[in-house]
Structure 1
Amino acid sequence: MNDELFRQHFQGIQRQIAALKAEQVAGNWEEITAALEGLQLIYEEMQTSLAVADFVEEELLQQHQRISTLYQQYYDLFNSAPIGYLVTDANGLILEANQTIAQLLNVPHPYLAGKPLAVYVAQGDRSTFRTNLNRLSPTSDIQVWQINLSPRNSEPFAAELTVAIARNNSGLIESLRIGVYDVSREQQTLTQPVEPQNPEPIPTAATMPMPALPQSLDGLQVLIVDDEADAREFIAAVLSSHGIRVTAVATAAAAMDALERFRPDVLVSDIRMPDDNGYSLIRKIRQLEAQKGWHIPAAALTAYVVEDREKALAAGFESHLHKLAQPRELVEMVARLAGRV
């Protein structure tokens, strides 16, 4: 019954009561009339509550749609990333995998979920792999493993696994988020000379281009600024594995506080952050340097492909790198800014 029909029904009852009262039929008409008015009030309150419920439901539906859209965007980013990514449980059972790791392991993408990662570890390294799983630190959130992976119907290759540990509210390991990097190609680049296709003169040592490989980075101090905890932990793990001392903060304000305590050799900052972004931060740092009389080489990081590199350099950064770049590129950039190449 809609609202108009309900009102007509009440009006009909009221007219019948008035007719009975006019005929002086015995009855407690005051109480009946009061009860009827109370019933009508309750109905109106129910209508109001239903209207509020409809509004809340619409808001929830819109929020669900926004969350679904964001989830799809992040899943597409995960699935199409140029770096191999896996999500496993604490025992190494694959829960999720992206297209890149499927290509590295030479396995159809749909077949990876539900398989133990150990199946794709080279036979000679499986004992080490299981030992690493059993020795996951109760305090560390990032670990880097050097291990050989064995693709299906292909030769094993050397890989670096960056393992981020996700825990539940009880502190127990809920999942492992693993980035997989094929380092065998880099090793081949360093150890196997490429024969020239044409019989041209070989450059002398004075003119031969040399790869920009970092020297020892032990003791180098780097300040990382990123509002995303996963990004901070990942960058810190990559740099720490090369002997770099890392200080990681979540905001531009925390970065400025850190600069009051020490002077890093290199600053690595995300560009897009809430409150003060990377552009604002680098301007403040350059103003501080004018007072202190020193200079901190700085690099800008971005998760957006269309981020303007020229804008970052014009703001005061000396270098610019995408967050999906290979870890080696990050290390080389830091080494170059610190003058360690």
Structure 2
Amino acid sequence: MSDEQVQQYFQAIQQQIATLQQKQMLIPLQEIMIALDELQLIYDEMQTSLEAAEVVEEELFRQNQRINARYYYYYDLFYSSPIAYIVTNASGVILEANQAIAQMLNVPQRYLIGKPFAVFVAESDRLIFYNKLNRLAQNSKVQHWQINLCPRQKEPFDAQLHISATCNISGCVEALQIGVYNMNLYQHNQFAPKLNSQEIFTADVKPLSQLPHLDGLQVLVVDDETDARDFITAVLESHGIRVTAVASTAAALEALETCHPDVLLSDICMPDGDGYSLIRKVRELEAIQGWHIPAVAFTAYLTEDREKALSAGFEAHLHKLAQPTELIAMVTQLTQQNHNAY
């Protein structure tokens, strides 16, 4: 029924009541007129609410169109990304996979959906993989795992997994977003990140076994990720370097009160004070103490601004995907430069 028809009904009823009033039926008719007026008021309010609802519905429709457009944009971005990428549930079962990971594992893209990612993990690493999965709920930060993957009908390769967990309100992991990097490509310098434009060390990088032991050197490592600290510590200590490893800017400044390291190696992105704030405080402390600590910005992000790191006070910038040989060579070069300067 249209609004015009409803108004016609109201008018017809009012005319009939007016006719009855002329016939001396005043008392009940007055009550009917009051009820009719209230009904008219209720109807008007309903019309107003309906008009407001139509406005809201139109806005929701436009928002839904925008959301759909963004969804398809990111959907295409995900599937066409050159970075191998999967989404799994908390148990590691693949929910989504892009073309790059299908090519990396040498299987059809559709085959990956519903398969445990662990089937592509080397058998020797599967127990470690599942143990790490079980501990993800205790750590909401992006994690970097080193693991061996076995593609179909191809040689196994060393991989680095960049893993971010999505948790529900209770803190339980619901999904994992995993970027997969073939470290063999970096080892052969096909995609290896460059050092800073000042070319911090000029000699060719030697095999790790040919690098000298650096007994007596001390390095302060600052990284909020336990795996990263453990890996860097193992590399440095294997060459006789004494390592103090801490998880925050505050802990690093506290360590500097009792030690004077030969090199500072700091992550850039940390939740409780980033590497930029740390290097500023270190340089302020140096002005008071009268000594200098060569510092390396160590980052997991390929897009990290190298020039920004150097301008902030770091002498060098190194990606976490760099080879251990590069790390040792950089520490050696920085130490030599610092000793020559003093």
Which TM-score band (shorter chain)? 0.5 to 0.7
Equivalent position of 1:328 in the other structure: 321
Distance in 1 (CA, whole Å) between partners of 2:116 and 2:33 is: 74
Cα deviations by residue, 1:46-66 (Å, 9 ceiling, x for unpaired): 112222322333333344344
Equivalent position of 2:35 in the other structure: 35
Equivalent position of 2:177 in the other structure: 177
Cα deviations by residue, 1:121-154 (Å, 9 ceiling, x for unpaired): 3xxx325314531562252446554433222232
The alignment covers a number of residue pairs equal to: 291
Cα deviations by residue, 1:30-59 (Å, 9 ceiling, x for unpaired): 101001001001111111222232233333
Indicate how the Cα distance of structure 1 residues 83 and 63 shifts in structure 2: closer, same or farther if over 3 A, else same: same
Equivalent position of 2:126 in the other structure: 129
Equivalent position of 1:60 in the other structure: 60
The TM-score with structure 1 as length reference comes to 0.61
Indicate how the Cα distance of structure 1 residues 46 and 68 shifts in structure 2: closer, same or farther if over 3 A, else same: same
Equivalent position of 2:138 in the other structure: 139
Whether contact under 8 Å (2:165, 2:173) holds in the other structure is yes
Equivalent position of 1:293 in the other structure: 287
Distance in 2 (CA, whole Å) between partners of 1:302 and 1:188 is: 19
Distance in 2 (CA, whole Å) between partners of 1:318 and 1:48 is: 64
Equivalent position of 1:201 in the other structure: none
Distance in 2 (CA, whole Å) between partners of 1:30 and 1:319 is: 93
Whether contact under 8 Å (2:268, 2:276) holds in the other structure is no
Indicate how the Cα distance of structure 1 residues 61 and 246 shifts in structure 2: closer, same or farther if over 3 A, else same: farther
Distance in 1 (CA, whole Å) between partners of 2:46 and 2:57 is: 16
Distance in 2 (CA, whole Å) between partners of 1:300 and 1:149 is: 25
Cα deviations by residue, 1:267-287 (Å, 9 ceiling, x for unpaired): 6269xxxxxxx9xx979x869
111-120 or 77-86: which moved more? Answer: 77-86
How much has 1:159 moved relative to structure 2?
Answer: 1.9
Q: Does 1:242 align with 2:232?
A: yes
Indicate how the Cα distance of structure 1 residues 80 and 88 shifts in structure 2: closer, same or farther if over 3 A, else same: same
Distance in 2 (CA, whole Å) between partners of 1:181 and 1:209 is: 25
Equivalent position of 1:98 in the other structure: 98
What SS class does the counterpart of residue 125 from structure 2 fall into? Answer: helix
Whether contact under 8 Å (1:301, 1:320) holds in the other structure is no
Indicate how the Cα distance of structure 1 residues 65 and 106 shifts in structure 2: closer, same or farther if over 3 A, else same: same
What SS class does the counterpart of residue 153 from structure 2 fall into? Answer: coil
Alignment root-mean-square deviation, CA: 5.0
Distance in 2 (CA, whole Å) between partners of 1:76 and 1:212 is: 41
Distance in 2 (CA, whole Å) between partners of 1:269 and 1:69 is: 32
Identity of paired residues, percent? 40
Q: Which runs of 5+ in 1 are unaligned?
A: 191-206, 225-232, 249-254, 271-277
Whether contact under 8 Å (1:298, 1:317) holds in the other structure is no
Whether contact under 8 Å (1:87, 1:175) holds in the other structure is yes
Q: What is the correspondence of 1:170-249 to structure 2 with a 5 Å cutoff? A: 170-188=170-188, 209-210=204-205, 219-222=219-222, 238=228, 241-243=231-233, 245=245, 247=247
How much has 1:28 moved relative to structure 2?
Answer: 1.1
Indicate how the Cα distance of structure 1 residues 182 and 63 shifts in structure 2: closer, same or farther if over 3 A, else same: same
Indicate how the Cα distance of structure 1 residues 319 and 102 shifts in structure 2: closer, same or farther if over 3 A, else same: farther
Whether contact under 8 Å (2:163, 2:178) holds in the other structure is yes
The TM-score with structure 2 as length reference comes to 0.61
Whether contact under 8 Å (1:269, 1:299) holds in the other structure is no
How much has 1:313 moved relative to structure 2?
Answer: 7.9
Q: Which runs of 5+ in 2 are unaligned?
A: 191-201, 234-243, 257-263, 337-342
Indicate how the Cα distance of structure 1 residues 41 and 55 shifts in structure 2: closer, same or farther if over 3 A, else same: same
Distance in 1 (CA, whole Å) between partners of 2:150 and 2:247 is: 36
